[in-house]
Amino acid sequence: MFSGPLVALTTAALAVATLQAPAAQASAATASATASAATASAATERAAVPKVKEPPRHATAVGRGGAVTSVDPYASRIGLKVLQRGGNAVDAAVATAAALGVTEPYSAGIGGGGYFVYYDAKTKQVRTIDGRETAPARMKHDAFIDPATGQPYPFTPDLVTSGVSVGVPGTLATWDRALDRWGSLSLGDALRPAAGLARRGFRVDKTFHLQTEENAERFNTFTSTRQLYLRRGKAPGVGSTLRNPDLADTYERLGRVGTDWFYDGTLGAQIAKTVRKPPVSGRTDLPVPPGSMRPSDLARYRAILQKPTKVGYRGHQVYGMAPSSSGGSTVGEALNILERYDLKALTPVQVQHLVIEAAHLAFADRAKYVGDVPDVPLKTLLSDTYAAERACQINPALAFTPPVPAGNVAAADGSCATPTTRSEPAPDTEGVNTTNLTVADKDGNVVEYTLTIEQTGGSGIVVPGRGFILNNELTDFTAVYDPADPNRIEPNKRPRSSMSPTIVLKNGRPVLALDSPGGSTIITTVLQILVNRLDLGMTLPKALAAPRAAPSNRTPVSAEQSWIDLYGAALTALGHSFTPVGAPGTSAAEIGAATAIEFGPRGQLTAVAEPTRRGGGAAGVVDPK
């Protein structure tokens, strides 16, 4: 595939000496060992591991030649080294994502799914891959109803900690398809550095320790999860080293034999069995409802190549994800509404008022019309005519009282007199601990990739002996079946998502690429960053660091305390109401953990990660300024 110096990418050198354990290569026999033997081996290796040093975290990096930004310094370093050695943006994105499966296993990994947005510098086109999880073919409409009570299972911890919440994973299929279509590395080459990282281990930080403690009951419920993440029943200490040799073995075998092992082979059969018969420990009284997944569900899975959504905004073209995600349509509709106003001429409070109201309107339409169904009226929802009609509902001096009604797409004509249609928002059950990465290469190709396992820690179930956690994405479906709900539970369907990987172009060239984790707050995080940068003139680092609110057609509006301190009093006078998001001292006390790259003149790149949220992210460039 490569010649000359790029041959290094196809050798163990890509793993990087600093990320490679002395015993770098797992044997085929280890990969096929029984789950109990693999777990015992993992425990032995963890006990002997020395402490490792975490790479430095830089929230902002400026330079040329390519850039990577993610929430994690190990992952960003791996992606950056792929670029430095001649790999392209897709190669680096997959390598970075695989590393996040090691260091951010409660947010992402091959047990989950996500959305991949790619800008091709040669064609100047944006394409996307829908790698969202799917419901098994045997999933029933009442799958989330407790047969003992006739009522929905309590969302947490009962429903999320289950086999019934696990969707067919799409992450690995996404990596394979992206590399095959746009990459220059094989899957094995892209996975090799992350396998080395998993074998050597990473330093446990405060966020990882806190997330483990917060999920201790759920993790204790399963023998495999307890053995990997709760040493002697306790969360790994801050500063300790966590190794995952089982995941290293899994990555290495996938690199040798390909994704058929996962989707059509013995690993797929093991995943399906784990979903139907979770490895419960008996240490907790959580009910753990079993799922219905079969090997045929994995064999049927496909990562879908599809067109992005697109809206114009103040001379830019904003591209995002189409359904099954609601990110592109909801962000796009809100931007179209806000374009009716000259935000630069308004006060900060007036801007925040309009952002909140535009988000309420767009979320109302999201609930009414958007899901993994064939008749989503995207053309209308993303039209300027419809946006003008929706903007008529906003009173600049008085707040809505949510929930506001959805618009009437069937009668949309731009008239303020068009009647609305009532729709109540479904309960918000999207997990907030997704993760995100942004990559650009020297040729101008760009990847914005958001991936997840849903809840912090997903379903809580580690596949025995394989080192990765299964998702609980099916909880994103509306729990109580309604045939009129576009997000109703259906077999083989993808639950609606709020993930909003976004690439902004101007005259066919990239200007910004960005997204964030955060469940339904992703949409408003992306919206606020775009307004901060494109309308209010903040630098990109300031646009990411600014306080956030999360309006979603509910009242009170959740917001970070720092945002409430800035705007709460003045906006309350307009009729808004607010509540701080999360409890102080918990991992839920902040909104999102965004990453972004801005493209400047003469190839200059500004890569940005969160300076403090979720412990702070890590950005890097190939050739620093």
Q: Smallest Cα–Cα separation from 10: which of 185, 250, 199?
A: 185
Q: Is 434 a catalytic residue?
A: yes
Tokens linked to 76: 């960003």
Q: Is the bond into 486 cis (omega within 30 degrees of 0)?
A: no
Q: Are 247 and 198 in contact (CB under 8 A)?
A: yes
The C-alpha atoms of residue 453 and residue 473 are separated, in whole angstroms, by 7
The C-alpha atoms of residue 533 and residue 31 are separated, in whole angstroms, by 48
The C-alpha atoms of residue 94 and residue 111 are separated, in whole angstroms, by 15
Place of tokens 């249609």: 421
Cα angle, residue 484 at apex, residues 405 and 518 outer, rounded to 5°: 65
| Alpha-carbon dihedral 60, 66, 72, 77, rounded to 10 degrees | -120
Given 212, 434, 435, 595, which residue is catalytic? 434
* Strand positions, DSSP E, 183-293: 202-203, 241-242
Q: What are phi and psi of 561, to 5 degrees?
A: -60, -35
Give the 3-state secondary structure of residue 616. Answer: coil
* Rg for the chain, CA atoms, rounded: 23
557's enclosing H/E stretch is strand 557-559
Q: Smallest Cα–Cα separation from 327: which of 461, 527, 480?
A: 527
Distances in whole angstroms, Cα of residue 79 to Cα of each of 14, 195, 251, 624 = 10, 13, 16, 15
The C-alpha atoms of residue 221 and residue 236 are separated, in whole angstroms, by 17
The C-alpha atoms of residue 325 and residue 510 are separated, in whole angstroms, by 22
Q: Are 564 and 544 in contact (CB under 8 A)?
A: no
Q: What DSSP designation does 60 have?
A: E
Residues tagged active-site: 434
